[in-house]
Amino acid sequence: MMILLYFDWVGNSKELKEWETKIKEACEKTGVEYKGLYGSMNEKWNYVGIFETEAYGNFLAMGKNVVKPQKMPHNIAEVFLPQII
């Protein structure tokens, strides 16, 4: 499954890079593949992190390894399930 983590960021780029480093480390520990950080074309969100995993529980476990920074006031996850046609 693919998971998009949309979020707002009120910190500077150095703080964002530090958070991204923590995300990468947590992904390695939990079997979640981190696809990268992208600027969102959605007017609501500043950024979107893209993840791939076999189970949503892995994504939740990854999230427990990283404290949500105060510089991230809002976020939402969108889950895409593979379709068998």
| Assigned domain for 65 exists | yes
| Structure token pair of residue 4 | 């998009």
Range of the domain at 22: 2-75
The answer to whether the CB of 6 falls within 8 A of the CB of 42 is yes
Q: What is the pLDDT along the chain (85 residues), one digit of tens a residue?
A: 999 999 999 999 999 999 999 999 999 999 999 999 999 787 788 999 999 999 999 999 999 999 999 999 999 999 999 998 8
The count of structural domains within the chain is: 1
| Structure token pair of residue 85 | 């046609």
| Structure token pair of residue 18 | 């530090």
Q: What is the CATH number of the domain that holds 8?
A: 3.30.70
CB atoms within 10 A of CB 49: 20
| Assigned domain for 59 exists | yes
Question: In whole angstroms, what is the distance from residue 59 CA to residue 3 CA?
Answer: 8
| Assigned domain for 84 exists | no
| Assigned domain for 51 exists | yes
